[in-house]
Every structure is written in structure tokens, then in C-alpha cells.
Amino acid sequence: MSVALPAVDISRALIRISHEIIEKNSGSDSIVLMGIPTRGAFLAQRLAQKISTIEGHQIPVGTLDITLHRDDLRMNPIRPLVPSLSPTGGIDGRDVILVDDVLFSGRTIRAALDALGDLGRPRSVQLAVLMDRGHRELPIRADYVGKNLPTSRSQVVKVHLTEIDGIDEVVLESEEVK
């Protein structure tokens, strides 16, 4: 196990992403952040707070549980649903920024795009992730990346956040430990 990203780097990455989001969208008037549970939701909250501080007004933030849209449901034990939180003002005509912790095969994001489509019709959808570890199985890329981390398939990337794990850090484990 090795620490791929310590707390200070996580914080720095989120600040950078916040600025990139504002820059790319020429401000923050039209943006809505949608976090993918569990850890993506907390990252979205953090980003929304940072952007709000910079911009001086509240950024709408929501959560998007993609469980019901997953394509691997039958391969795993049943997952309890996470309550979804709709952002104030909805997503129609907005620039939605999906937020997740790790980008890997891209299947979660595919499911998230489907789930988003059920909620409404955004003007654009962008993707922010804390870690991009490669091995994409679908034509999906992130617009904002905290850190690119080359990994092997058998390795496991674990994002820990103070909100639920008591600590901020990203660790790389060589194999899943059971």
C-alpha cells in the first residue's frame, strides 16, 4: 500500500479544478454540480463550496445515485439505494458537472449519463474526477482531473475522505485485500 495523494494534494487539486470549472464555463451562472455517491457526492459538495466562495453566490449541488442504471447489477449482491438529492432549479438547460472520485472503466459514468437523462435535458455535461487511473472500456474522458495515476488492472485505488473515512488520502493497493 502506498499513498498516491496526501491530504494537502487533494485540497490543492480541488482548488485547481474549481478554477478550471469557472474558467471553462466563463463563470458559474449556469453550472450545477452532481456528485455520484458515495465519495463523489462529498467531492461535489467541496467543489461547490470552493466555487461559491470564489464566485460569491451559491452553486446548486445534487447527488445522482446511478445504482438503478448500472450494467453489472446481476454480477454483485444487491445494493441499497442512496437517496438522490435534486439540485435547486433542476438541470434543464444547465451545464452539469458530474463529480466522481475515481475514473476507471467508464461504466459508472455511462450509467450516470443515462440517469441524468431521466432527470432532464442539460445544455452540456462535463466530468470532474479526483483520480484517473486509466483502463477505459468505453469512449469516455474527464474534463477535470485531480491526478492521473498509471495503475495495473489488479491494483486498487481507494479514496478516503474525512467526511466518512476520517482522513483525506488516496492510497494504491497492489491487490484487493479481503
Partner 1 sequence: MMRHLLSASDLSYEQALLILDTAQEMAKVSESSVKKLPTLRGRTIVNLFFEDSTRTRISFEAAAKRLSADVINFSAKGSSVSKGESLKDTAQTLQAMGADAVIIRHGSSGAAKRLADSHWTSGAVINAGDGTHEHPTQALLDAFTIRKHLHVGVGDLRGLTIAIVGDILHSRVARSNVILLSLLGAQVILVAPPTLLPLGVEAWPAQISYDLDSVLPQVDAVMMLRVQQERMADFFFPTAREYSHYFGLNRRRLSSLKSNAIIMHPGPMNRGLEITAEVADSARSVILEQVTNGVSVRMAVLYLLLAGAPSGDIEGSVQV
- Binding residues for partner 1 (CB under 8 A): 65, 68-70, 72-81, 83-84, 102, 104-105, 107-108, 114, 117-120, 156-157, 176, 178
By beta-carbon proximity to partner 1, the closer residue of 23 and 175 is: 175
Own/partner contacts of 18-21, CB < 8 Å, gap of 24 or more, are: 18/47, 18/50, 18/51, 18/54, 19/54, 20/144, 21/47, 21/51, 21/97, 21/126, 21/128, 21/144
Minimum distance of partner 1 from residue 82's CB (angstroms): 8
By beta-carbon proximity to partner 1, the closer residue of 6 and 90 is: 90
Q: Which residue type sits at 28?
A: S
Minimum distance of partner 1 from residue 133's CB (angstroms): 9
- Residue owning grid cell 469557472: 22
Three-state DSSP at 93 gives: coil
- Residue owning grid cell 483525506: 168
By beta-carbon proximity to partner 1, the closer residue of 57 and 178 is: 178
Minimum distance of partner 1 from residue 170's CB (angstroms): 13
By beta-carbon proximity to partner 1, the closer residue of 42 and 104 is: 104
Cβ contact 59:52 at 8 Å: yes
Minimum distance of partner 1 from residue 19's CB (angstroms): 29
